Each structure stands twice: as structure tokens, then as C-alpha cells.
Structure 1
Amino acid sequence: MAKIRYIRRILAKLFCFAFFGICSLILAILLFPIIHIITGFNERRFKIFVRKFNHQYFKIFVKIAELLGAIRLTVENRDSLKNLRSKVVIANHPSLFDVVILFSLIPNANCIVKGELIQNKFISLIIRNLYIPNNIPFEEQLEMAKASMDEGNNLIIFPEGTRSKPGEPWEFKKGAARFALYAQSDVVPIFFGGNEKIGLRKHDKLLQFHPTERYIYNLKILKPIPVKEYESMPLTKSATKLTHKMKEILEKELPN
């Protein structure tokens, strides 16, 4: 029975990947042109509409993953995200599903994404239309992120820059802090807890899964970090101190 459950979870995981890829392709190729027409080819209205649409799409995806037995999700202080506006949302990054889960929880979300994803035919049009690629000059990224947050959107960013390496300490980069300081936007930390995400971690194989149970995601929405106290410092110093603060707050949630 244990082997059957293991195989069933792997099949559920593969179905989730296929569902996400196909739906993203349909969204980009078929629905985007229709939404452009509906919104009168107005870029701002288009982005508002699509962000709301994506939020619902990711909620459906997460619910399907739960119903299939691939994941189990609990969120502490979920209500604090309902009316979230103009914030930099940071989190530790243990698995591939992290971004999807955050987008399912946070309305009007923007994100810094790998520029190489533009080459992915399934999601390249979504990336080009909605999010900020990290392969453009950093000053342009700052301006784009600030403009987005000025409109009320929230910027999701993982300070590590990539998924955590199992068994190794976190290494936070200063980018998240610089975005928050430049836009004068407070930081909302989110901790991803739960079991080990075997099969979704960095360098894991596609046909791996946790050996005894589904992926368990226990998220905790933590108190915002105000950036006001860092504004009077030189940028290099303030970015360093804010980065250390973010890392300290998230590390406190790690199990002993």
C-alpha cells in the first residue's frame, strides 16, 4: 500500500506540472488577446485584469494539487494578506511550488523572475506582459518594481535568489532590501515550513517524491518590517542591515 500511495503522489505531481504548463500556454496564446480587446488595449487595465485572473487561476491550481493528494496547505494569519497593497513580500524558498502558492494567496502580485524564463514557450508571454525579468539592468528593475507598487501591487521576491540547497544555510542577497528601500515599501516576511520537499528542491529529479507523505506546506505570515528606520542610513548600510533583519526573522521560525 505504501508503494501504491507513493506512485499515486508522483502521478499527481506530474499531472500538476502538465496542468500548469498547458493552462499557462492557453492563457498566453488564447486568452491574452481576448483580454487585450476587452480592456480596450489599455496596458494598465490589462495588467489589473490579468493579475486578478492569475490570482484565481493559481488558487484553482493549488486546490487541485490538494484534492489530488500532492500537497497539504495551512496558512497562519492568512487574513492579513487579503487587503495587502504596495508591499515587498519575501519568503524562504524550499521548493518549486512556492511561487504558485504565494500567487494563490496574494492578490495583485508582481514578481522578479529569471530572465531565462522568457525562452520558455509555455510562460514567456505571461512573463513579458506581467512580471519583471532579472536580466535587464538593475536600475530598470527598481523603476519597474516601484511603479508597480505605486499602483498598489505587491512585489514577491525570494532573497536567496534561488531555491534553498538542502542542509545548507541560507544566503540572502541584498536585492529584496534594495527594492523595499527604493520604493519605500514595508517588507512582509512569510515562512515556508512543513516537511522536506523531496522532488521539488534544487537539483532533485522529476520522479522523486517524499517517501512517506504528501508535500506539507505550513506557512506563517509574519509581522511587517517597517523600512522607515533604515531610510536615514547610506544605501549600502541600510540594504545590508535590512537584509540581515529579514534573514534573522525568517531563521527564528526554523525548527530547532
Structure 2
Amino acid sequence: MNLTQRIIYIWRLIAKVFVYAIYGICSSLYMILFPVIFTLSGFSKKRFRNIARTINFYFFQFFVFLMKLLGILTVNIKNKNRLKEIHSCVVVANHPSFLDVLILFSLIPKANCIVKGTLSKTPFVNAIVNLFFIPNTLPFETQLQDAKIGMDAGETLIIFPEGTRTIPKEPLHFKKGAARFALFADKNIQPIYIGGNEKIGIRKHDKFFSFHPTSRYHYNLEILDPITLEKFKAHPEPSAISLLTNEMQKILEACRENDSELKSDFSI
């Protein structure tokens, strides 16, 4: 790196740490705000979920805007017009970085997800988490029922079928949970491919104090064609789940293999 590149690199690294710190502070304040919202909603679970999800949507939009403003992030969306059609379905995406959740929540109103069960046992926030999200420590049948109720009410369930962040240069390995949720609720799958350059510093096992050496993080999202369930429901449930999981993985793996920016970044 020359001097200018070093200065830009240091700035982006400082900006990344700054955003993390602000996110942590705001998240803490956010959890304090939730009980107030629940009280003002008249202790109505339905009213609370609607208000809280709207606030959540703008909360994540703010952080995406902040990262763009600081010069550490770009977000480009192919087939952006399809975003308005995303509701009452299961969104599945590959998971290259820590910021994937934040970006998807900033694009999809009324988004729901499966969260770590430890949050449902944390004092003060446990009741809110149980109202707002689906803890993964619940019996799986309960998770299926809760997700279906939410999707029937217009919510979108976001799932990363890998279950963890993608390991660079390794093939995708999808678990079967997303297919089980979609088939149980009888809701279509909406695949979203998350591409762009290598997300160095926010990938699995990366050092916290690191950043892409030559560029800001480029997120090139593609809203793909929905996967309808008709041809899968013709099979027995175990086969339908496996076939649907394979279909999701094949579609997103093909996008990854054809991602020219990602392939050119592997040489870094």
C-alpha cells in the first residue's frame, strides 16, 4: 500500500469499529425502549409486533446509511423492484459476513428470524425477545407454529440455511430447517444472493481489527425468482424437504460461482 491507501485503510478500520460501538450502544437503548413500546401498545402482542418491526426496519436502515456515509459500504440491488413483493414467505440467503442480517433487515419490512435461545433467558429482555422473535431453544414444532402464525399475518421469515457464516472458498452446505419452515407454513421461498467482494474483517474467523485491503465492502444483492412449492409437495415430506433444500443450495451456489467480483477478489 502507498501512503494514501494506508490512510484510507486506517480510516475504514476506525469507521468500522466506530459503527460497531454505536450499534452496541443503540441496541442496548433499543432493548430499554421495547418495554415502553409494549406498554404504549396497551400490552397487545399484535400491536407491539407491528410497531416494533417498523421501528426495527428503520433502525437497520439508519446503520446501513451510516456505513455508506462513512465510506465503508456500498449496496447495489439487482431486481430491486421485487423487494415490495416480499412478504408472507421464507427468505433464504447465503451468509458471507456479519452484516448480512443487518442489510436484509434494512430492506425487508416486518422481518422475523430465529434467534439464539440465550436471549430468551436473559433477564429484562427475555419477554420482549419471546414476543418479537423465535428463540431456537423452543421445541421445533413450536418454532414451526410461531413462524407460520407470523407469515400468515404478513411477516417474512429470514433464514441463512448454512446456519453460520460461509467459509471463504468452501462450497455452501445448507441445513434443512428453511425447507421445513416453508413446507409446514405452505409459503414460497424467496432466495436472495449476497455477493460482491470478499468481506475481509467481518467473515467467519477473521481478525476484528482488519478490513478489505483495497476497497470498501461491496454488497451486490440479487433478488432471485421465488421458489414455489407445488412440485415439492408432490413428494413425501422427507423427500420434499431434501429436494427443496438442494434446490435452494443449487440456485445460490450458481450465483456464487458466477460472481465475477468475488472471483477476482480471491487473489487478495
Q: TM-score range by the shorter chain?
A: over 0.9
Structure 1 residue 214 displacement after superposition: 0.7
Contact map agreement 1:189 1:246 (CA 8 A) in 2: yes
One-letter identity of the residue aligned with 1:8: W
Answer yes or no: is 1:25 the counterpart of 2:28.
Answer: yes
Structure 1 residue 78 displacement after superposition: 1.7
Matches within 5 A, 1:9-20: 9-20=12-23
What secondary structure, in the 3-state scheme, does the structure 2 residue paired with 1:159 have? Answer: coil
Separation of aligned partners in 2, 1:121 and 1:83: 37
What secondary structure, in the 3-state scheme, does the structure 2 residue paired with 1:178 have? Answer: helix
TM-score norm. by structure 2 comes to 0.90
Separation of aligned partners in 1, 2:130 and 2:27: 13
Contact map agreement 2:171 2:253 (CA 8 A) in 1: no
Structure 1 residues 204 and 251: CA distance shift in structure 2, 3 A:
same
Identity level (%): 51
Separation of aligned partners in 2, 1:233 and 1:211: 49
Structure 1 residues 50 and 197: CA distance shift in structure 2, 3 A:
same
Q: What is the root-mean-square deviation of aligned Cα atoms in Å? A: 1.7
Separation of aligned partners in 2, 1:67 and 1:42: 37
- In structure 1, the residue matched to 2:214 is 212
| Cα deviation code 1:117-171 (max 9, x no counterpart) | 5577897676333111212221111111111111110000001011001121111
Separation of aligned partners in 2, 1:122 and 1:136: 19
- In structure 2, the residue matched to 1:246 is 248
Matches within 5 A, 1:94-243: 94-118=96-120, 127-243=129-245
Separation of aligned partners in 1, 2:257 and 2:211: 22
One-letter identity of the residue aligned with 2:16: K
Structure 1 residue 201 displacement after superposition: 0.6
Where in structure 2 are there 5+ consecutive unaligned residues?
259-268
- List structure 1 runs of 4+ shifted beyond 3 angstroms: 116-129
| Cα deviation code 1:4-57 (max 9, x no counterpart) | 11111111111111111111111111x212212221110110011000110011
Where in structure 1 are there 5+ consecutive unaligned residues?
none
